[in-house]
Structure 1
Amino acid sequence: MAVEFAILLPVLLLLVLGIMEFGRAFHVQTTLSNAARDSVRVMALQDNATAARSTAKASAHGLPLTDAMISVTPTTCTPDAAAPGMASVTISYPFSPVSGFLPIDDLTLTGKGTMRCFG
């Protein structure tokens, strides 16, 4: 009984760590997508890239986002009602595993939001 437990314990621990790491990665991915969606809404309605970046940082609770991680394009929306442009916010976040046992070293998670300007 103890031999079987000793053989299965590393496999079970690896399985539990994998579930935790991928669950955390899924949570971070969802947070980035929601932050990008909130941010692009601010950009499309207020036409303010600085406010869009601030909204992304405030919306991504627990993630230390910097301005370099948040890409807002275009930086100004065109007020042409006949052909309004599209605003886009992309947030790139370097994900690092907590456990360090899994071979996930260079993983960049991305959240993206797109919305019609003034729309």
Structure 2
Amino acid sequence: MRARRHRAEGTREKGAAAVEFALIVPILLALVLGIVEFGHIYNAQLVITNAAREAARTMAVTGDPGTALTAAQSVAPGFALTVSPQPLACVTDPTNAKLKQVTATVTSNVPLIAGTWLNPAGTISISGVGVMRCEG
């Protein structure tokens, strides 16, 4: 009789472990998905900010808005970028009338890895700003 009682208690503990595992797994998976999603969005932010900086730098050096837009797109090939203001131009610095600068703001809608689970739209809008002093 004792052998049977001992075996029944072990089975109950296995069942409790399975229930605990079933309760914890969704929380752990959500945590891992959140970490991956954060890394994805942070990487997109860096790429878009670099695209804005490259657009401003190219505009400041060449003075050609078309070349600046091409330079921004070459830095972020996987993103559909919107560059503003249109057209990019060197304007007088508000703090120093002797200097001219160009400000490029690049925006893109980045799809989320989790899709609509975290955000009903399934995308997040990310923007970056680049400012450079114009030559000459």
Task: Give the TM-score band, short-chain normalised.
Answer: 0.7 to 0.9
Instruction: Give the structure 2 partner of residue 115 of structure 1.
Output: 132
Instruction: Give the structure 1 partner of residue 90 of structure 2.
Output: 77
Q: 1:113 to 1:56 in 2, by over 3 A?
A: same
Q: Spell out, residue by residue over 1:9-58, the C-alpha distance to the aligned partner (whole angstroms, 9 max, x if none).
A: 11011111111111100000000011111111100011111110000000
Which of structure 1's runs of 4+ aligned residues deviate more than 6 A?
none
Distance in 2 between the 1:45 and 1:73 partners? Answer: 17
Aligned-residue CA RMSD (Å)? 2.2
**Structure 2 residue identity aligned to 1:70:** V
Confirm or deny: 8 A CA contact 1:77 1:117 kept in the other structure.
yes
Instruction: Give the structure 1 partner of residue 35 of structure 2.
Output: 19
Confirm or deny: 8 A CA contact 1:97 1:104 kept in the other structure.
no
Confirm or deny: 8 A CA contact 2:102 2:131 kept in the other structure.
yes
Give the TM-score normalised by structure 2.
0.74
Q: 1:104 to 1:21 in 2, by over 3 A?
A: farther
Where do 5+ consecutive residues of structure 1 fail to align? none
Distance in 2 between the 1:75 and 1:64 partners? Answer: 18
- Give the secondary-structure state (helix, strand or coil) at the position aligned to 1:84: strand
- Give the secondary-structure state (helix, strand or coil) at the position aligned to 1:94: strand
Distance in 2 between the 1:76 and 1:95 partners? Answer: 27
Instruction: Give the structure 1 partner of residue 75 of structure 2.
Output: 59
Distance in 2 between the 1:27 and 1:39 partners? Answer: 18
**Structure 2 residue identity aligned to 1:98:** I
Higher relative contact order (CA 8 A, sep 6+): 1
How many matched pairs? 114
Which structure: greater strand fraction? 2
Q: 1:72 to 1:17 in 2, by over 3 A?
A: same
Q: Which has the larger radius of gyration?
A: 2
Confirm or deny: 8 A CA contact 1:96 1:104 kept in the other structure.
no
Instruction: Give the structure 2 partner of residue 39 of structure 1.
Output: 55
Moved more, 56-65 or 17-26: 56-65
- Give the secondary-structure state (helix, strand or coil) at the position aligned to 2:88: coil
